[in-house]
Amino acid sequence: VILILLSQINVACSSSHLTPSVIAATDRMFLESLALQGMQLSFDNTTAATKDWGKLRHLEPAAVVYPRGVEDIATIVQAVARSESDLTIAARGLGHSTNGQAQAHNGVVIQMTAMRGIRVMPLGDGASKGAPFVEAMGGDLWVDVLKASLEFGLAPKSWTDYLHLTIGGTLSNAGVSGQSFRHGPEISNVLQLEVVTGKGETVDCSPTQHPELFFATLGGLGQFGIITKARIALEKAPQRVRWVRALYTDFAAFRRDQEFLISAISPFDYVEGFVVANNANPINGWSSVPFEASDISEAMIPGHAGPILYCLEVTKAYSAADLHTIDEVVESMLAPLNFHRELLFKTDTSYFKFLDRLHETEVQLSSRGLWDQIPHPWLNLFVPASSIERFDMLVLKKIMTQDFSGPLLVYPLNKSKWDKRLSVAVPEGPDEIFYIVAFLRNKLPELDGGPTLSTMLEDNDNILRVCEPLRCKQYLPRHQDRIQWKRHFGSKWDLFVQNKQMFDPRAILSPGQNIFSRRR
């Protein structure tokens, strides 16, 4: 439904302006000398590297490198780290960041998608004790990893909602979706990494081999090294999924059921949820919930419903042999839940189509200039379970009742599935459960009304202000200064700084995150 509405709109999109590259002549000569030695380095074709999903920052690099192998990456990192220059380096996946995190003003962007290669090991090896895994390059896409693994009837266990993201980009953050409650985020399912550190050293690391680099890199926002290869655990892939959505009018009932569904006895394989407005708006109203648009009408919404509704989204995977029992199994799994019985919607699809469900949206919106052509002032938060009712009262029911302009996801995760040694910051404190709340707003062209970009950014600031006493953390974070970063990482900050000193002492890597300043 979102698609249909958006696809009727034509684009006239505004974006922030470019901060051009101005580099010292000596730095330019230094980079040119590398090009002369055979490095695939472009000084002219830098436009793509100034763009990302957010369309909020456009910083021009001095050059873009297209690596042919890990040696190229080691060479350029080593050369820049040893030079007496101000040059920095950003690995860039597909630039799906929202705030210039993969950009390097006046520096070098390494276009990781130039290096691809996926190898599936269905019988594993000695180190994995025969457990299957897949090895992929940092610039490979998750969708290609899935396709290659499915050829062996296998698949990774943990996902993001959208698969056209790179391995290196998501592993530098976390990679969260409806399977994370059971398997942890994508970074909890990595067996081994090959990393080029900020010193230009190529290191294989794992939980037992150079574990400090392994855990620092996963969720490390690209600060410690460039992920050139990752080994990811696989499991037997299901063939189909029964996909279910159910509406609630009461937040307490919605969260109780979600938390029950992510408990140890969880019967579903995937648990997510989202918020919709109690109106007929096809983007964020209740009509965006059913799989067939004709399956819901205003008459079905209970009269006592407030301005927003909550939609549980779950799946049960199954194989062809279970086809005759799946209806019964799903019915019994839904029986203890407290959604409105007349507001239950189901569909059935292949495992691949379910995982790649956003791609169809991408193709349609892209053809109308409404995919990566428009600004996305996204805000992702981790909210401790003990604060989520207050968050609902103070944010969801207040700030967001007017115009979401995009999906608003709310679903719980189990903290024990996030190894404490990973760099990624999650809410501190005793709560075992925290929620991901994702405000995935799209700034449609001016002529289509809706809030302005600056209003959306103000909304984000207001939400962050409300969140401060609630012990929330930003996911895919953006912070202004070191004080904010220190607060963000909390008890992990000292180790984060120590790791930076150890693996990237000149602070050349991932300058777009705005955490450390380049040292000569």
Of 197 and 278, which CB lies nearer to ligand FAD in the complex structure?
197
Q: How many whole angstroms separate alpha carbon 271 and alpha carbon 164?
A: 21
3-state secondary structure of 276: strand
Q: Which of residues 48-87 bind ligand FAD (CB under 6 A)?
A: 53
Count CB atoms within 10 A of the CB of residue 222. Answer: 29
From the candidates 27, 52, 72, 96, which is the catalytic residue? Answer: 96
Task: Pick the closer one to ligand FAD by CB: 71 or 327.
Answer: 71
- Is residue 205 a contact point for ligand FAD (CB under 6 A)? no
CB of 200 to ligand FAD, least distance (A): 14
Decide whether 92 or 255 has the Cβ nearer to ligand FAD. 92
List Cβ neighbours of 474 (8 Å cut-off, separation of 6 or more): 379, 380, 381, 382, 464, 488
423 near ligand FAD, judged by CB under 6 A = no
Least distance to ligand FAD, CB of residue 371, Å: 8
Answer for which of 510, 514, 515, 516 binds ligand FAD (CB under 6 A) is 510
User: Shortest approach of ligand FAD to residue 328 CB, angstroms?
Assistant: 31
Question: What is d(CA 157, CA 181) in angstroms, rounded to the nearest whole number?
Answer: 11
- Which x/- pattern, by CB under 6 A, does the window 86-105 give for ligand FAD? ----xxxxxxxx---xx---
Catalytic residue at 194? no
Question: What are the residues whose beta carbons fall under 8 Å from the beta carbon of 436, sequence distance 6 or more?
Answer: 176, 380, 381, 382, 383, 409, 410, 411, 413, 475
Rg (Cα) of the chain, in Å, rounded? 23
Q: Rounded to whole angstroms, how far apart are CA atoms 195 and 216? A: 11
Q: Which of the residues 60, 257, 269, 272 is marked catalytic?
A: 272
Comparing CB distances to ligand FAD, the nearer of 312 and 413 is 413
- Nearest CB to ligand FAD, comparing residues 289 and 476: 476
Binding string to ligand FAD for residues 461 to 500, with x set by CB under 6 A, is what?
A: ---------------x------------------------
The answer to whether 165 touches 185, Cβ cutoff 8 Å, is no
**Of 151-180, which residues contact ligand FAD (CB under 6 A)?**
160-162, 165-166, 168-170, 172-177
Instruction: State the nearest-atom distance from the C-beta of 313 to ligand FAD, in Å.
Output: 13
Place of tokens 């266990």: 157
Catalytic status, residue 96? yes
**Smallest gap, in angstroms, from Cβ of residue 23 to ligand FAD?**
19
In the annotation, is 494 catalytic?
no
Residues contacting ligand FAD: total by CB under 6 A:
35
Instruction: Tell me whether residue 248 or residue 378 sits nearer to ligand FAD (CB atom).
Output: 378
Residues 206 to 235 in contact with ligand FAD, rule: CB under 6 A: 221-222, 226-227
Closest separation in Å from C-beta 512 to ligand FAD: 6
- Smallest distance from the beta carbon of 91 to ligand FAD, in angstroms? 4
Pick between residue 191 and residue 330 the one whose CB is nearest to ligand FAD.
191
Strand runs labelled E in 287-378: 308-318, 344-350
**490 Cβ contact partners less than 8 Å away, ≥ 6 residues apart:** 425, 428
Site of tokens 């909550």? 310
Instruction: Examine residue 503 and tell whether it contacts ligand FAD (CB under 6 A).
Output: no
Distance (Å, rounded) from C-alpha 87 to C-alpha 21? Answer: 12
| Shortest reach from residue 320's CB to ligand FAD, in Å | 28
If binding is defined by CB under 6 A, does position 112 make contact with ligand FAD? yes
| CB-count burial class (<10 Å; 0-12, 13-18, 19+) for 29 | exposed
Phi then psi for residue 151, to 5 deg, are -60, -20
Alpha helix (H) ranges present in 201-334? 211-217, 251-261, 326-334
Q: Among the options 161, 204, 372, 419, which is catalytic?
A: 161
Shortest distance, position 216 Cβ to ligand FAD, whole Å: 11
Residue closer to ligand FAD, measured from CB, 90 or 232: 90
E-state strands within 322-407: 344-350, 379-384
Residues 220, 454 contacting (CB under 8 angstroms): no
Contact between 453 and ligand FAD per CB under 6 A: no
Complex with ligand FAD: residue 31 or 90, whichever CB lies closer: 90
- Give the Cα separation of 383 and 406 in Å (integer): 20
Give dist(CA 173, CA 475) in Å, integer: 8
Half-sphere exposure of 342 (CA within 13 A, CB side): 8
From the list 138, 184, 198, 219, which residue makes contact with ligand FAD (rule: CB under 6 A)? 138
- Which token pair is 94? 């597909």
Q: What residues act catalytically?
A: 96, 161, 272
Q: Which residues bind ligand FAD (CB under 6 A)?
A: 53, 90-97, 101-102, 112, 138, 160-162, 165-166, 168-170, 172-177, 221-222, 226-227, 476, 510, 512-513
